[in-house]
Amino acid sequence: MPTIPAPAGRYATLPKAELHLHIEGTLEPEAAFRMAARNGVRLPYADVEELRARYAFTDLVSFLDVYYECMAALRTEEDFAELCETYLRTAVGQGVRHVEMFFDPQAHTSRGVPVDTVIDGLLAGFARVAAREDLTGGLILCFLRDRPVAEAAETLESVRHRASDLIGVGLDSAEVGFPPSLFEGVFAAARALGLHVVAHAGEEGPVKYIEQALDLLHVERIDHGVRCMESPAMVARLRAERIPLTVCPLSNLRLGVVSDLADHPLPAMLGEDLLVTINSDDPAYFGGYVADNFAAVAGALGLDEEQLELVARNSINASFAPAGRKAQLLAGIDAWAAARS
């Protein structure tokens, strides 16, 4: 397994937004077993050590197998509230001041957990932390692209009455073989509800998936998008249109998108003036929360504080936060930079 650099350091004090975070991917092994025990659920692992041993992922699908198995522990509103609260406490300690978190309702409704249970629990957990900390954000509902499109449409319809509780919708899960074009109608319906739209594209899938996400789904951000570097034309388009890319370096390392963090395209993406952000994706599985990702790329790629300050600014500007909140958060980065100089 590739070595992951040491965590956080000074980057834990750098104010930032996290825009690519799957809340189910923050379920640490100890919490999974604790929740499974109280809910009478048996996980397919003998203990925490056996579960952690499964974290030697070879690709996205090998990760998703474990990811979905562990979700079986999540059953009640309080489970989701605890999951959200635990992540947010960690995130705040890593400098996150705004978070737009993904959740996967189909992975829960398929197990008999109502979507309202999921949403109510996550919102309760968010409210608990936001009441004590300088934190804003909300929820982005993701459709599982490797499940039937009709199911995605039904999922959207099931939350129509709760559209005001969501920031937007996204598209995730196994990418290869499930192009964005399949979900054109579902995303049109989501936009008609006034929801923001984002999509995973260009992680393992080809540049064509990025193009489809932009032209057919009309997404406002591309999640991952690292394969854009294979196409000068796509790089030029992303730069010209200022399309944000929510890059996840430690995720890319652990899933084999890059074999060594030193080979990550992040410096080249910054060199092309792309609107890149750094995020943790599924930190319980990939060895680091967001500030850990900042510290890792600083060490492995030689990025300096000025470059990573820019990435933090990008995260605020790429968020769906109101203009006033963005200004407040950018002022916090100014203060961090002033203290550095």
* 203 among known catalytic residues: yes
Closest CA to 135 of 177, 101, 178: 101
Burial pattern 243-269, b for ≥16 Cβ within 10 A else e, equals bbbbbbbbbbbbbebbeebeebbbeeb
Number of domains the chain is built from:
1
What was the pLDDT predicted at 9? 78
Q: Is 273 annotated as a binding residue?
A: no
From the list 317, 312, 318, 304, the residue with the least C-alpha distance to 336 is: 312
Is position 281 annotated in a ligand binding site?
yes
Q: Is residue 231 part of a domain?
A: yes
Paired with 281 in beta bridges are 21
Distance of CA 107 to the CA centre of its chain: 16
- The tens digit of pLDDT for each residue in 111-164 reads 999 999 999 999 999 999 999 999 999 999 999 999 999 999 999 999 999 999
pLDDT at residue 2 in the model: 39
pLDDT of residue 8: 64
**Range(s) of the domain holding residue 308:** 12-26+83-336
**Inside any domain, residue 151:** yes
The residues with which 222 forms a beta bridge, in sequence order, are: 199, 245
Question: Above pLDDT 90, what percent of the chain?
Answer: 94
Provide the pairing of β-strand 221-224 with 96-103.
unpaired
Question: CA–CA separation, 318 vs 243, rounded Å?
Answer: 8
Q: How far apart are CA 276 and CA 270, in angstroms?
A: 7
Out of 18, 24, 28, 203, pick the active-site residue.
203
Q: Which amino acid belongs to residue 246? A: T
What number of other Cβ atoms are within 10 A of residue 64's Cβ? Answer: 19
The answer to the question of residue 103 being in a domain is: yes
What phi, psi does 301 have (nearest 5°)? -110, -5
CA of residue 7 relative to chain centroid, distance: 19
Q: What is the 3-state secondary structure (H, E, C) of the chain?
A: CCCCCCCCHHHHHCCEEECCEEHHHHCCHHHHHHHHHHCCCCCCCCCHHHHHHCCCCCCHHHHHHHHHHHHHHCCCHHHHHHHHHHHHHHHHHCCEEEEEEEECCHHHHCCCCCHHHHHHHHHHHHHHHHCCCCCEEEEEEEEECCCCHHHHHHHHHHCHHHHHHCCEEEEECCCCCCCHHHHHHHHHHHHHCCCEEEEEECCCCCHHHHHHHHHCCCCCEEEECHHHHHCHHHHHHHHHHCCCEEECHHHHHHCCCCCCHHHCCHHHHHHCCCCEEECCECHHHHCCCHHHHHHHHHHHHCCCHHHHHHHHHHHHHHCCCCHHHHHHHHHHHHHHHHHHC
Burial readout 185-194 (b: 16 or more C-beta within 10 A, e: otherwise): ebbebbbeee
Write down the pLDDT at residue 219: 98
Residues of the chain with pLDDT below 70 are 1-8
Q: What is the CATH number of the domain that holds 222?
A: 3.20.20.140
In a domain, 33, yes or no: no
**pLDDT at residue 4, as a whole number:** 45
pLDDT digits (tens, 9 = 90+) for 6-24: 456 789 999 999 999 999 9
37 domain residue, yes or no: no
Question: What does the block give as tokens for 263?
Answer: 């080979």
Domain annotation covers residue 266: yes
* CA–CA separation, 161 and 262 (whole Å): 46
Assess if residue 39 is contained within a domain.
no
The verdict on residue 297 lying in a domain is: yes
Q: Would you state the pLDDT for residue 161?
A: 96
